[in-house]
Structure 1
Amino acid sequence: MSQRARRTALTLVPVLAVSVLAACSTGSTTAEDAPAPKSESEVDADAFPVTIETSFGETTIEEEPERVVALTSDADVALSLGVVPIAIERNDWAGGENGTTEWWDQALADVEGAEEPQLLDTADGIPVDEIVALEPDVVLGTNSGLTKDDVRSLEKAGVPVVGYPGLQWGTTWQESLDMVGQALGRNELADEVEADTQQVFADAREEYPELEGTSFLFSWFDATDLSQIGIYTEIDNRPRILSELGMVNPPVVEDGPDDTFYFNVSLEKAKTLEADVVLTYATSEKEAKKLEQAPLVSDIPAVQDGNFLASVDPADTAGLSAPSPIAIPFVLDRYLPQLAETIDG
């Protein structure tokens, strides 16, 4: 699967026809004109040098990195630790016209004197040359689409890269926070942020007790082929986050593949897809209703029972697929009321 195809499946395989817009990167492509580094927190004593193990091998960072480039959710993670990257990935799915998410904008506004980072277009892969031109001290990609070639090219240019510990886009928010905390020399602060985020989960479980023990299918549908359903596995962060809230995966996921973040099932088996709720995406309420009533899709037991939620605002769920300490409170506040209503029928 190509990187573009994999990212499409990761974020959203469009329901009933959605056009995908590839935006160009914005801002400077030179180090001189890039945003000035900015941080509002201090490094731990004796934090450097530090060596971090990733799926690409060991990465050693000799001293505190000031010029930080952060890919996907690592931009949020760095910001949660008081470090503003000079460049981040543009988000045209959930980021609106400005290419950044609402939770990023809110958190950045709280950092006095912080400048908007350069936005990197990664629709066709990581723009290695553009990143090198920014002369970063480190590239953070713990939950990203970095490839081995990307990492080798960046390292050859003298740029340390903190990649993911397992599969592309398969890193938990806790792992990302720990690794970014090490890379930025802010382990103590990372521990505090993790504790605060865990409290967010605890509060959500208390507010929505109906989540406990409820089984769910987190799915996507291809507009060109409604004969099958794509199902996210336990490797994907969407099911992981819901599991942290007390929900459970149904048998089709438990018995499915354990080496991929999603798999397809023929909708000829729709009646066997037992789960309390079915979760997916749509681009409008009209399209959500059309999908719910589509042949075969409507044969899924939970859909028949009306326990079907098709999110129409990407911002409601983007923080599930790319979770971070600043995205999680936002997405739980937006998504859980809808989910609880779906569970209650």
Structure 2
Amino acid sequence: MTLTRPRRRGAALAAALLSTALLLTACSGNDAPEGTIDNSPAAGNDAFPVTVTTTYGETTLYEKPERIVALGMSNLDILTSLGVTPVAFADDGYTVNGGSPDFSNAPWVDGKVSADLWDVGLADGEVNAEAIAAYDPDLLIVGTRDAEDGNMYETLSEIAPVYVSPSASEWQKDTTEIGQLTGKSTEAEEQIAAVEKAYEDAQSSLPGLQGRTYNIGALDAGEIWIEGPWTFLSDLGLVPADNQPAEDIQNMSMENVDQLQADVMVLVAYDDATTDTFKSDPRVASLPSSENGTLIYLPANFLGAAHRAGPLNRLWVKDQMVSYLEKTPLNQEGN
């Protein structure tokens, strides 16, 4: 499977599709499987109605949702961590063979959810409002890119209440708000606390890297994308280098590779050829991270992992990063 860089999805669906989606909403039956939400007293006592405010306005639910459709691996991650199973799901970044679902490159959810959920469909990356409406959902949880497609937010809002999740770097906020909307506020707090503690505990495995500077990003056809939203190294006790952006993604050409002076550098490439091209530049060998033995090349599946975040994902990323970093010479010096 080839992972592609997260991109803005295609143009908005035509007005005719909106009409079809609304018709399906009105006429759909109960053929689709029910989602799973524990409604027992032990599941929490969140009161409804509940209102959550996003950049697209307020999302109000008057009762606990039973038929959730989720778009995006991060949203599936969060729902799964809260013990909630949607009736359907899609993420075009994790498909093979023209659309068949593939969890092999999302090991944090592999085995925890059924591929049968992958039934909404994203034709060429575009949101399929017809398929969504057919599930007669009472809550849609979608990513920002899905909502940005022209009038897609308005189209989906005619089907069911829509919650638009923030960026991956705001996964705690996302988890908290999805917890509120699903009556799982307590579970959301517990998941966030567990992840934060796991990262704090992991710092003891990286004594030689505490306070060390880092750059982290992706290699792509002669360019280096320095990824500001990837903050998990900070959570492990490292410090962003001066040229590591705080939030945005900074595009750096290879002619400026000698500006990457961080103590630790972590890079992920789309393929081995891209990595080999980067390594062949003679300046790479003289970078501090090369000399420290802390220039780390991650496999391609990490690219999708880094761009999608939730409690399960963050724990998997933590384990991966520690496994690479703890055996570096610079870290061993701190033992």
Point out where structure 2 has 5 or more consecutive residues left out of the alignment: 9-24
2:236 to 233, 240, 245: 245
CA distance in 1, matches of 2:160, 2:175: 21
Query: For each residue in 1:147-184, what CA deviation from the matched residue of structure 2 results, as whole angstroms up to 9, or x when unmatched?
Result: 162211111x241111135xxx3542211110100110
8 Å CA contact retained: 2:168, 2:308: no
CA distance in 1, matches of 2:273, 2:325: 19
CA distance in 1, matches of 2:304, 2:51: 31
- The offset of 1:32, in angstroms, is 4.3
Q: Which residue of 2 aligns with 1:333?
A: 319
Q: Equivalences for 1:312-331 in 2 at 5 Å?
A: 312-314=299-301, 316=302, 318-331=304-317
Aligned amino acid, residue 334 of structure 1: Q
8 Å CA contact retained: 1:99, 1:119: no
Q: Which residue of 2 aligns with 1:308?
A: 295
CA distance in 1, matches of 2:7, 2:162: 24
Q: Which residue of 2 aligns with 1:62?
A: 62
1:151 to 138, 150, 153: 153
Aligned amino acid, residue 53 of structure 1: T
1:280 to 267, 279, 287: 267
Q: Which residue of 1 aligns with 2:131?
A: 130
CA distance in 2, matches of 1:339, 1:146: 37
CA distance in 2, matches of 1:297, 1:128: 47
CA distance in 1, matches of 2:113, 2:159: 29
Rg larger in structure: 2
Q: Equivalences for 1:111-190 in 2 at 5 Å?
A: 116-118=117-119, 120-121=121-122, 123-141=124-142, 145-147=146-148, 149-155=151-157, 157-165=158-166, 169-190=167-188
CA distance in 1, matches of 2:123, 2:235: 30
- Report % sequence identity: 27
CA distance in 1, matches of 2:71, 2:82: 15
TM-score (norm 1): 0.75
Q: Equivalences for 1:72-87 in 2 at 5 Å?
A: 72=72, 73-87=74-88
1:221 to 216, 219, 222: 219
- The offset of 1:196, in angstroms, is 1.8
Q: Does 1:102 align with 2:107?
A: yes
- The offset of 1:299, in angstroms, is 5.9
Change (3 A) 1:179 1:320: same
Query: For each residue in 1:244-263, what CA deviation from the matched residue of structure 2 results, as whole angstroms up to 9, or x when unmatched?
Result: 1111111112xx5x6x6312
Instruction: Give the match's secondary structure for 2:151.
Output: helix
Instruction: Give the match's secondary structure for 1:344.
Output: helix
8 Å CA contact retained: 2:138, 2:161: yes
Point out where structure 1 has 5 or more consecutive residues left out of the alignment: 10-28
Change (3 A) 1:290 1:343: farther
8 Å CA contact retained: 1:144, 1:163: no
CA distance in 2, matches of 1:146, 1:32: 26
- The offset of 1:287, in angstroms, is 5.4
CA distance in 2, matches of 1:131, 1:39: 19
8 Å CA contact retained: 1:142, 1:171: no
CA RMSD for the aligned pairs? 3.3
Query: For each residue in 1:295-341, what CA deviation from the matched residue of structure 2 results, as whole angstroms up to 9, or x when unmatched?
Result: 55556443465432121251x45433212111222222233211333
CA distance in 2, matches of 1:217, 1:231: 7
The count of aligned residue pairs is 303
CA distance in 2, matches of 1:218, 1:122: 32
Instruction: Give the match's secondary structure for 1:63.
Output: coil
Query: For each residue in 1:269-300, what CA deviation from the matched residue of structure 2 results, as whole angstroms up to 9, or x when unmatched?
Result: 32232211221123566753442223555564
Q: Which residue of 1 aligns with 2:196?
A: 198
8 Å CA contact retained: 2:214, 2:240: yes
Q: Which residue of 2 aligns with 1:35?
A: 33
Change (3 A) 1:46 1:231: closer
TM-score (norm 2): 0.77
CA distance in 2, matches of 1:102, 1:284: 19
Aligned amino acid, residue 150 of structure 1: M
CA distance in 2, matches of 1:77, 1:173: 9
Instruction: Give the match's secondary structure for 1:252.
Output: coil
